[in-house]
Amino acid sequence: MKQIDIQVKQEFPLTIKRLGINGEGVGYFKKQVVFVPGALPGEEIVAEVTDVRPNFAQAKIKTIRKPSPDRVEAPCPVYEACGGCQLQHVTYEQQLAFKKDLIHQAIERHVKDLLDVPVKNTIGMEDPWHYRNKSQFQTEKKGKKVVAGLYSMNSHQLVDIKECIVQRKETNKATQVVRKQLEKLEIPIYNERTKNGVVRTIVTRVGVETGEVQIVLVTATDDLPNKEKLIRNLETKMPEVKSIMQNVNPTSTSVIFGKKTILLSGKETIAEKMNEFTYHLSARAFFQLNPTQTIKLYDEVKKAADMTGKEKLVDAYCGSGTIGLWLSKGASEIRGMDVVKESILDARRNAEQHGVKNFDYQTGTAEEWMFKWQKDGFKPDVVVVDPPRTGLDEKLISTILAVKPKTFVYTSCNPSTLAKDLKLLSKAYKVEYIQPVDMFPQTSQVESVTKLVLK
């Protein structure tokens, strides 16, 4: 492939046309695409090239000649270093418009046949700060100090984060208390380079409505030095902590959790309430990170599923059964599956606790169980999915097209994989509409609910 005619460190004027999928500004120089983090549509800037690839270049802002009226001062002191948020420098109203546009862009890029599908306005938050109920901060030893934070964008530099302004105050507090105790008790911190040490990650989660806090220490070894003293100190300093767990991950990987989880103190789960439902969450169980918006998201799923009480429902990628439970009053029977065994145990417990009579939750893949159930004579009327960022497994798409539920509701956290999947699903399904929901204000991520009806 021919190298593009742009050099590293080259400077040139650039007009920004739109925002890209990671929230970066997109402009064109000599007909080549240039991505500029922090630049906004309509801005005229001087860009300095930082990297050149075969079909695009990356640049940084040298100066802004004409700023966008949507530009604001980012309130976070480590915003540019951290990379956890991408849109703090944009007005919230414009963030919502951008997220709707992201879905349009993905459809235009991957499936032009669906350009007429209605994409509704993004459902936002009244207060788009301090909303995340869970944090996963890596640890590092710097001299005698223990720091906890996130890795800087595209690097292995750990940014020390004392207070994250998109995290709940409870998780911020818990992380800092744990960090100070690790430092005080001189508990060895894992070193990625030498592979020595113990504590890798501090994971904290809060049940926003219950106030219960869970701490999970992810360690490289089963052995946790000074364990008893650490537990005692954490319990004394934070009576709100109801669960202290240790998760062991000895592998050299960027995946946070290992397979082994040990109860150190308190309960194995904490409780979270949303409307009339109480959910029990174990250390590795998936649960939405923004409970306020989750209620809006699940209500959109319920609206799209449009059930009368007679329908058989399959909740694929069910996690701890949250979506299925939300729709349970409209279903005559619920079945679900997930590859994480602990999530399925949580799903069963949650269903029993809420008096759901007709349910079946199994560990395994959606395609495996849907075919098995079909052979046993079970045919779902409605299937709801909430897959990871990679989208639907091709085998699952084939299964959906074979099983042919009347209604298919697709909750997505990635417009690109959503568009690719819709291209395949639209052979048998009419795409009624897409409803974006802002689950992660200040970031470039967008969640959406798509309603598909069998043709």
CA 203 – CA 329 distance, rounded (Å): 34
Residues in contact with 240: Cβ distance below 8 Å, sequence separation at least 6, in sequence order: 170, 211, 212, 213
In the predicted structure, residue 45 carries a pLDDT above the cut 80: yes
Least confident of 123-127, 285-289, 441-445: 285-289
Q: What are phi and psi of 328, to 5 degrees?
A: -60, -35
Least confident of 196-200, 279-283, 310-314, 373-377: 279-283
Tell me what pLDDT residue 3 has. 55
CA 318 – CA 342 distance, rounded (Å): 12
Using an 8 Å Cβ cutoff, are 46 and 14 in contact? Answer: yes
Question: How much is the average pLDDT of 132-143?
Answer: 96
Query: Please, what is the Cα angle at 155 between 154 and 157, to 5 degrees?
Result: 145
Which residues are registered as beta bridge partners of 32?
29
In the predicted structure, residue 371 carries a pLDDT above the cut 80: yes
Identity of the amino acid at 261: T
Q: Which of 160, 139, 135 is nearest to 219 (CA)?
A: 139
Tell me what pLDDT residue 287 has. 83
Tell me what pLDDT residue 87 has. 97
Q: What are phi and psi of 148, to 5 degrees?
A: -135, 135
Write out pLDDT tens, residues 197-252.
999 999 999 999 999 999 999 999 999 999 999 999 999 999 999 999 999 999 98
In the predicted structure, residue 1 carries a pLDDT above the cut 50: no
> pTM, whole model, 2 decimals?
0.90
| Percent with pLDDT over 90 in the chain | 87
Work out the pLDDT band at 5, boundaries 50, 70, 90. confident
Q: What crossing angle do the helices spanning 394-403 and 415-425 adopt, rounded to 10°? A: 40
Write out pLDDT tens, residues 21-39.
899 999 999 889 999 999 9
The b/e string for 390-420 (b: 16+ C-beta within 10 A; e otherwise) is ebbbeebbebbeebebebbbbbbbbbbbbbb
In the predicted structure, residue 308 carries a pLDDT above the cut 90: yes
The b/e string for 52-73 (b: 16+ C-beta within 10 A; e otherwise) is beeeebbbebeebeeebebbee
Using an 8 Å Cβ cutoff, are 167 and 137 in contact? Answer: no
Q: What are phi and psi of 169, to 5 degrees?
A: -60, -30
In the predicted structure, residue 155 carries a pLDDT above the cut 90: no
In the predicted structure, residue 176 carries a pLDDT above the cut 50: yes
413 a catalytic residue? yes
Report the residue count for the chain: 455
Q: Which residue has the tokens 């700023």?
A: 67
User: Chain-wide mean pLDDT for the chain?
Assistant: 95
Tell me what pLDDT residue 4 has. 64
Pairing of strands 382-385, 429-437: unpaired
